[in-house]
Structure 1
């Protein structure tokens, strides 16, 4: 199929769909929102958020996974995958850190180099038999924050403008006029027209936190790519790497049945099968790019490349792993590894990237999709009311304030 024909079909699909899925996005309590029915039906397997960052001395990799169901199940395995290599995009070794639970007793294995067995819910967690990892498992505050209602309001405004006849260019980006763009961004930064509110304030799910020696977890090199999954004996149920990608960029257009199928397929797949989702993600990126009234300025977009404008970014996002520079103990920028490698940002070469718990990941992520930077798009919520700390297990205990 030629590019012009693909563009015509895409325009027809956008207009017919009316951005149905966008209007509902962000409906639940985590960055892994609006998941498939199978995941929602099994809350003990529903991953809310995944964090991966380095210790300040760059000797330990810190990992955290929150579970929407607020409890771990003895039917499930909870796994962090750590791929490693010498440089971005070139991982050549993998280590699994997997945990199973029997009530309050955790059994966690880190490759073949360490194991934790016992009750890991104490304030210091449990150290591994070989002293190379430490594990905590229990209720904790999830430091993710998000103005979900404002985000949904912004998406509603964008969908209404598309239905009202906003023209689409060859790549599917809507040409919103200045007034529509201002309205979208204004709505994004408010809740019901007033000050922005964090829908996730006080949310306390079950949290699995692991701190592991990076030399043991990364035999392939100090460039790491991290993702997490939950599974039963029947197979994978949920997975997550970066925030938003799996559920905000799949099924954005079209009926709910299509979105459900895509998300179920995505959760069963691995990052190695990323190519299957690139086309769908391209279509979603086209919509985000238009929110500021300028098409072609999203990160990695080529304004002159027609229907293939969003292919580079879609390819990157489909491989939904959190990239972490394991040689750095400074972790202040989302997508730091990717931006250093793909955009020549030498100033970011010394940042570990990944996703540290207190980062404003949502604003940075969305801004990259809308205007190609990590600023200028805000949902009006800049921090979690409690926030994460600097010492293990990092995430705050229920009821604790900082």
Structure 2
């Protein structure tokens, strides 16, 4: 049976999953260290191929209204021949001065100067193209509808029985109400609560030939690092990281009243890749809760309905390796999670995440019902619409 602490944790989980009206993107309301410095707070990460397959497009959104001269902004691009193969990694590091001029370096190729104009800056060897400035936040989310759906789940949890895998048994009426509430806003049509938000956007188009040494499958994640004085030398400390949308905020500490969620998220945000598997068990616990929202435990993506405690182990391991995957052989990018689902060659689709595709609904649907289209919050696009083909892609604020 669920305790009151668990119900309170679900309310917190609602906030972490993106339904607080203080949020402006999918990775907001982060740990105390991150929220204390908006210039280091990664709001979202997007990555997709150009139609001619010649360039990888990358967008790192920052919650703050300007970049900081004390923060290092890094985009990590791995390349491999398969989803589980060894990776060759290239890192693009960007720094700003107090006049907001940027210096981005990828190996020995550098772009430096004012990158806030629509044309951005080309690097010296023309391996990448960079824009840095204020843009409209392309993230969209029905915050109030999501919150109301979570409220129903919280009430149902008070009398729910957990199965052997930790999934609460919700009845058909509860599941139906959750789904209906998710698609409305205060009893009317669904509204994008985040309309009109703006973010600092670091946007790059990178030559695929410069980053695909390990193979055609590209994996990306972003990180920010604070510069702190340490005697005579400065030290870089990782502050935040993001790969796929919502992985950290939606799944860490969900309904787990026995842990300090802030401390867990601090550890998660600062973790190096070799430490990521350490979060698998906690992610699995969050997956068990998400699996309950349609009233059927065991039909989540990659869930093994025949197992008990290990039902969510496969998906938890995949999500713990928090990178956004892109198949660089295809210039069409309309199917979220195409690489992870094994569908990139079937649909000739790069996967990844463009700023115009509703990746949030696809992710929630996979966690709840095992497909990418069954659950929706009723909001399907941002206004003004971003572009996936015209640099710098995001609309002006």
Q: Quick check: 1:238–1:268 contact (8 Å CA) kept in 2? A: yes
Alignment of 1:32 with 2:31, yes or no, is: no
Kept in 2: contact 1:188–1:379 (CA 8 A): yes
Q: How does 1:286-365 map to 2 (within 5 A)?
A: 286-340=288-342, 347-348=346-347, 350-365=348-363
Deviation at 1:256, TM superposition (A): 9.4
1:284 alignment partner in structure 2: 286
What secondary structure does 1:284 align onto? helix
1:17 alignment partner in structure 2? 6
Q: Is the 8 A contact 1:22 1:152 kept in 2?
A: no
Tell me by how many angstroms 1:157 deviates: 1.2
C-alpha separation in 1, matches of 2:33 and 2:111? 30
User: Higher helix share goes to which structure?
Assistant: 1
Matched, 1:214 2:190: no
The 5-angstrom pairing of residues 204-283 of structure 1 reads 204-233=198-227, 234-255=236-257, 258-283=260-285
2:346 match: secondary structure: helix
Give the alignment partner of residue 151 of structure 1, picking from 123, 146, 161.
146
1:106 to 102, 105, 109: 102
CA contact (8 A) 1:84 1:93 kept: yes
> Under a length normalisation based on structure 2, what TM-score does the superposition of the two structures give?
0.93
Does residue 133 (structure 1) correspond to residue 128 (structure 2)? The answer is yes
Which sections of structure 2, spanning at least 5 residues, go unmatched? 228-235
Distance 1:345 1:209 in 2: 24
> What is the CA distance between 1:24 and its match in structure 2?
2.8
Task: Look up the SS of the partner of 1:338 in the other structure.
Answer: coil
CA distance in 2, matches of 1:214, 1:175: 47
Alpha carbons of 1:95 and 1:346: their partners in 2 closer, same or farther (altered >3 Å)?
closer
SS of residue in 2 equivalent to 1:339: coil
Query: In the alignment, is residue 59 of structure 1 matched against residue 76 of structure 2?
Result: no
**Partner Cα separation in structure 1 for residue 43 and residue 172 of structure 2:** 35
TM-aligned CA deviation for residue 20 of structure 1:
4.2
3-state DSSP of counterpart to 2:184: coil
Q: Report SS of the residue matched to 1:291.
A: coil
Give the C-alpha shift of residue 160 in structure 1. Answer: 1.2
Contact residue 254 and residue 289 of structure 2 kept, 8 A: no
Asked whether the equivalents of residues 61 and 212 of structure 1 are also in contact (C-alpha less than 8 Å), the reply is: yes
SS at match of 2:364: helix
What CA distance in whole angstroms lies between the structure 2 residues aligned with 1:89 and 1:392? 32
Query: Normalising by the residue count of structure 1, what TM-score does the alignment of the two structures yield?
Result: 0.92
User: In 2 relative to 1, CA 305–346 (structure 1 residues): closer, same or farther, beyond 3 Å?
Assistant: farther
Secondary structure of the 2:179 match is helix
- Distance in 2 (alpha carbons) for counterparts of 1:197 and 1:91: 43
* Aligned residue in 2 for 1:3: none
Contact 1:47 1:240 (8 Å CA) reproduced? yes
Question: Could you list the per-position Cα deviations for residues 189-208 of structure 1 after superposition, in whole angstroms to 9, with x for gaps in the alignment?
Answer: 11122211111101111100
Determine the C-alpha separation between the residues in 2 that align with 1:335 and 1:273: 23
Higher mean C-alpha deviation, range 188-197 or range 258-267: 188-197
> Shift of residue 15 of structure 1?
6.9
CA distance in 2, matches of 1:21, 1:309: 25
Task: Quote the offset at 1:188 in angstroms.
Answer: 1.0
- In structure 2, the residue matched to 1:395 is 394
Residue 33 of structure 1 contacts residue 244 of structure 1 at CA under 8 Å; is this kept in 2? no
1:186 Cα deviation (Å)?
A: 1.1
Q: What are the within-5 Å matches in structure 2 for residues 65-214 of structure 1?
A: 65-102=60-97, 103-112=99-108, 114-163=109-158, 165-214=159-208
Q: For structure 1, list consecutive stretches of 5 or more residues without a partner in the other structure.
A: 1-10
Deviations 1:109-138 (A, max 9, x none): 0123x2101000011100111111100000
Deviations along 1:343-365, whole A, 9 cap, x unmatched? x78524x2111111111011000
Pairing 1:47–2:46 present: no
User: CA deviation digits over 1:306-337, x for unaligned, max 9?
Assistant: 11111101111111100111111111111100
Q: Deviations over 1:225-274 (max 9, x none)?
A: 10001101340011101110011110112349611111100000033322
**Cα 1:133–1:346, aligned 2, differ >3 Å: closer, same or farther?**
closer
Residues 62 and 201 of structure 2 are in contact (CA less than 8 Å); yes or no, is this contact kept in structure 1? yes
Name the CA distance, whole Å, in 2 between partners of 1:285 and 1:236: 26
- Report if the CA contact (8 A) 1:79-1:97 is conserved: yes
> In 1, distance between residues paired with 2:283 and 2:28?
16
3-state DSSP of counterpart to 1:277: helix
